[in-house]
Structure 1
Amino acid sequence: MRGWGIFAVALLATTGGMGAPTLPWAGALAWLLTPWLFPQLDARQKRTVGALLGIGLLLALSAAATGHSVAWAKMLTQNTLLIAMLASVTFLQLVAPAPPAVRAETRPAPPWRRLLQVVSAVHLIGAVINLSMVVITVEQLVKRSHAPLPEPMARALARGFLAAALWSPFFAAMAVAITYAPGASLAAIAQYGAPLAVVLIAFSIAEIVRRYPAEALASLPDYPLTPRQLFLPFAMATLVVVGHEWRPDWAMLSVINLAAMGLPFVVLLVRASAAEWQHTLYHHIVERLPLMRGELLLFLAAGVFAVGIESWLPVIGHWLPVARFDWVVAALTLAGMIALASIGVHAVITITIVSSWFAPLAPDPVVLALMFLGTWALGLAVNPLSGVHLLLEARFGLSAVQLARGNWRYAMIGYALVVAAIAVRQSQALALAIS
């Protein structure tokens, strides 16, 4: 029931983004699933969801009691398309590329090349199929080396994966950025985010090679990146671009959802018999979709929190310490958001607060989105509670705290790069406005 309910939420929200009046129904169904999903969260997730939901409701009720307008209906639609995207992209795991076969190497590649191969695979393919690519890659690396995953490789993997948040339309980060920075386009964001990701990956590899002793680097396993592995991300990117050009009136997230669900359906139908096709999809819906209960409830609760904050905007808007949102304000805000992430505050929480706080200043949506994506890519790198660090700890025995603490130099360099990109964006926007 839970899996089919989440699948129905994804379908209803997707059609809602295409113009059908089904988005509130998707949100209502998602809330109806909470009694079955919430008890299965771990203690930390329960605290986060409970805090967001409780504070959001308290803010909304107190605002209503004092005569302020509260958009109660928005609690059904605030993050519903985002939740649908998270469910839809899980289907891409069904056609994820198989790891390259183990092959004998007469001469091992230098450490930097082995790191680059692994990071490139996780970054490019993980940008589409998300955290599952980290699992696929690490399991193959452990199989190749017949040994635990070395810390330098784990650190490179986590950084490379998170850097995709700066440009990938299939990351929750991009969905959040588009949701909370309305008016920001994927193309405008990617022209800054993609180069940032490349530079960050290059710095990360150079820093790791310089930081670790030769004996630690000598144990790094190999992971050749093959053209076959790149088919999925390129196919998805093509489908999204073509779909958006074909129906620009559809929400971008709906286009992504259709591509993410449609491509596996077609590929599996070609590869397998009708019975195998049905069994695979049934198993995914029943077994895999309920595992995203944490994400679903987190974003539902964040939507309530956002509505609660927005209900007080007419009161708190004049409390802003600045009169305009420029690159200096963005830089200071980003520093604070990364600092909060380092102590475990989820990026969704700070993004929700900041977007509501600066809304009266009509900020440049691209600058706002870059700040949000920088928070995700860099803040989660120093957050021991981020999904990728918890995965590496729970499944592969590495210390999430140690991995996060070792990323501060990387995060500081990344922060400087993101601030530089924001300053460039602002100057270009000003020059365009003057001309």
Structure 2
Amino acid sequence: MASKPYDKETENYYRLCCLLFEAGTEAMRQFFLTHVSDDGQPLPPNQFHVFIKQKKNEFIRTLKKDKRQKNLYKSQSELLFPPEEGEANINELDMTLLNILISNLCVCDKDELKKVTDLKNIRNDQAHNNGYRINLAEFVREWSRLSVILEALGVNRVVIDDYANKNINENDREMIITKIQQVLEDLEERVGDVEEMVDGMDERLEIVEQNQHDLSNTLMRLEDTEENKFLSGSREADENDGTPFNEQSLPSENLSMDDFRQLIKDFAQWFDRRKLLNRLQVLLLQYFPNNEALKRVTTTTKLLALLVERELLSQTNLSLLYDTIKLTEQFGFISTTKIKLRAFDNIREREVVSLSAHTKEIFNLGKKLSDSEIKTLDGRYNFPDLEDYTDSWSLILDFEPRGLLSENKMEEIKEVLKR
């Protein structure tokens, strides 16, 4: 990485990351210290080791209930609860661990928590920037976005401005490289956890299907027995109690972890078999201002893992899943998944709530572009270094992060296609 050419765009990347990892981590640290007690008094940093020892059992119990996290990795556990006579030091905790502590121990409302989550997501976006370069337009946009979040978290504007003029030296670059590698290792581990979670469903499903088969055989043997007559009589009594048969309860959006895993597995298999990953990526561009995270995704399972990691998809929030089914018109999926949800009944009429009107406009453009129109846009915006896009979706995934499909640019695109 150190051997890469160091030019203005590389400097932009390091400067943004320097602000992110230094000022951002400190902002999260101070947020935790000022929101961790009910009396509103900040926790002194040198008392963190005492506090975390006292809260250990409560923290672990809360963590086990967290549908996104559940467990600490060994390295994280050792930082919080060092072996023998060691003391936890809050200054040694990274953004990931601070975010876990904030989510499970802090007293704050959803708006405050969202600022912390947004900061973590910017970090994830930059960690996936394989080129370690940011052009001027993107740098200005990302710097402004990050500055707004940091100021909302209490960072003084003077501090932010100092980073804009800071001399980025070799030590800064090495620090950023180390931080990026740590983030990527953590994200890869989490993606692996989700994939393992999905793969692990197969064996359990075989057991369930075998049990269902055995139960079916047993019921068939009972058909001509007195016991079956008794059961039939009981069933008739139930049917007369005023409860319609078709009102048997279906899972709500608050799914069990096993049902959530099965739903993810079914969804991923359906979309991967039909090679629809690029359409999903286009629909989700609004949640990934830096497209690098989406570019790294090679399967629908990994895409879903990213959504879960970013808290955009969960057992209690399936809006993105519903909306992508509707917009991609993959209604056949509903009859194939083993998980039946009430929301599936009227999904064609369901209002899209998780995707913006602009996202829908971009997606509709992708559905309508012909091969000749794709070539027209390639020539208009990429000449002489043509990209030769394989389809409209690959064009959109390239155009959108470059600002060529912004709301202001869409009219220009339409005019180009009319000529």
With normalisation by structure 2, the TM-score equals 0.26
Which has a greater percent of helix? 1
Q: Max radius of gyration: which structure?
A: 2
Q: TM-score, normalised by structure 1?
A: 0.25
Higher RCO structure, 1 or 2 (CA under 8 Å, sep 6+): 1
